[in-house]
A and B are shown apart, each in its own frame.
Chain A
């Protein structure tokens, strides 16, 4: 472990050395997000993620926001375990009939002011599952949506950009 920790000390952080994503764009996002978030919410934005029926693709990319390349927490954005601690519900998937009540109850448990961000093509209108007997529709068919981030699934940087749009 010592060798690994030493390497971390002497090497530049990956967060600034992202190989594919445009560093300038990420930094700009970070600055802008900081300004907007501070204005409304101090320095913190608490997100509760709800899978209302997704294929788990969106979850994978939301997870990725926490890795060293995106390091979501440096923007003051973090995922919380309970809707009662949340400012934002990040909802994925078409809303299945079997998840509808759980989503409604999670929304009801979130204190105001609150925002709902629908992530992914399915969350807009049910996507490729829209016509199914088991699907209630998009997220806005069940709870009010403030922002939609398209993609199947959206790339992590697109999700980050979306959260910025909500705040500014």
Chain B
């Protein structure tokens, strides 16, 4: 992690609207505007990011262009800036705004475009094992010789290094963690990811919408609903189709069930990493009950492939609705006891309170979403702003804390469980009747759509360009983990090695969602 630089004051920082107006607007990009800008405006936008007047929502490439999605948080406005790269290079945003570093390294790896000024030019997703470079740009053959990855140097007396992974000791995804410790204390953690890079964006190119939805639902298994939801909304935005009202409500129902299942699992798993197995066992029961109810209602425990562009593929029958009501009642009965237990067990609190602190300033700078952001003072929630149906008709709160430790990330999850239970009840009480699916006709010309959906981990961004005939030309899926993984490196500094599993689980970043 580089140090926090003092932001250079920019006099009269332009607003997001002004940045967009400085470029040429792209007509068929919905629902938020996209503009092709020149490199001066591009750099100006990077300065705005540094200053914090906008935050980075996404950064992705194409064979001959780069794009960045920006969020004006107070104004709840979103816009995409694009820069053509006819000579294969672009001015680095990461030079001014560290959260873009890994995204730009990935763009370099996949497309071969060069980020001029990028402070860290090491490859990120490309481990030198594909047999060629720049698979999504001008692919060129290269020997699959897996060159040694140069980890950042750490100098000082009495330091030792602990390499961990990619195969870990538990049932978790692969990634490499390089710890440098002084005795028990972690001086630096450096992550190396990309092991589960499956080339999903490459598979998306040329696929039809059905195949696209299948792939999107498999970006990160724990967020199968959130990704399918975001992909469907992006496709519908591009084609100007609206899913029927009942489908929109069922989507939210599934999204909240997914949030419940994951939060129950996480709360238990965090306690388990502090060696408190009792809560893990009880939370595991609650999680299993959610998954079984989902299976009973939608035919799949993770509710995979139920949300499709145009609507949903599976209806909820009255028995299913009754099963969910029972689930909510049972969760409401059992969960508060577990929360009490968490709150009143001093030995457990001793592990979680004050451990792995993420400062609010960094959470804001990185635009960290989900429980990571909310436990550190950033209460952004895509359901609220920019907002999408049916959440505009539902009553819920977005919890926020600013202590930023493992304990705060547990409490945010606890509060979100309570909110999700209330949301599920509201949805069931007011679930509209009607059709489930709208026809998604192939467009005759190119259309672009973008969507932001709040998954359990944070906001999932999907950007989509459909060509004539309805084939996907380019689809980018940005997991919330991109802006959370780098923060784990900071949060762990000064903690003991034995607390790493605890911190890591409290972040619970997705490897697969990040590696794509």
Which residues of A are in contact with B by a Cβ distance under 8 Å?
A: 1, 3-4, 14, 19-20, 49-64, 66-69, 79, 81-83, 93-94, 96-102, 106, 128-129, 131-135, 152-153, 155
Contact = CB atoms under 8 A, between A and B. Distances in A.
Contacts of B135: 133-134
A127 to B, nearest CB: 8
Contacts of B301: 61, 155
B99 interface: no
B411 interface: no
Contact of A98 (B167, B196, B304): B196
A96 B175 CA distance: 13
Interface of B: 127, 129-132, 135, 144, 146, 166-167, 169-174, 194-200, 202-203, 211, 214-215, 218-222, 224, 265, 278, 281-282, 284-285, 287-289, 291-292, 295-296, 301-302, 304, 337-338, 341, 344-345, 510-512
Contacts of A52: 174
Contacts of A94: 198
B196 A93 contact: yes
Contact of A68 (B129, B144, B281, B512): B281
Contacts of B170: 79, 81
19 contacts: A1-B344, A4-B278, A19-B289, A53-B195, A55-B220, A55-B221, A59-B171, A63-B171, A66-B284, A67-B288, A68-B281, A79-B170, A96-B197, A97-B129, A97-B130, A98-B195, A99-B195, A133-B202, A153-B302
A66 to B, nearest CB: 7
Nearest to B296: A20
A129 B512 contact: no
A46 B70 CA distance: 49
A66 B277 CA distance: 12
A67 B173 contact: no
Contacts of B512: 54-56
Given A51-B173, A94-B198, 14 more contacts: A4-B278, A4-B282, A53-B174, A56-B220, A67-B281, A67-B284, A97-B131, A99-B195, A102-B195, A128-B203, A128-B211, A134-B197, A153-B221, A153-B302
A19 B265 CA distance: 19
A81 B291 contact: no
Nearest to B289: A19
B273 to A, nearest CB: 13
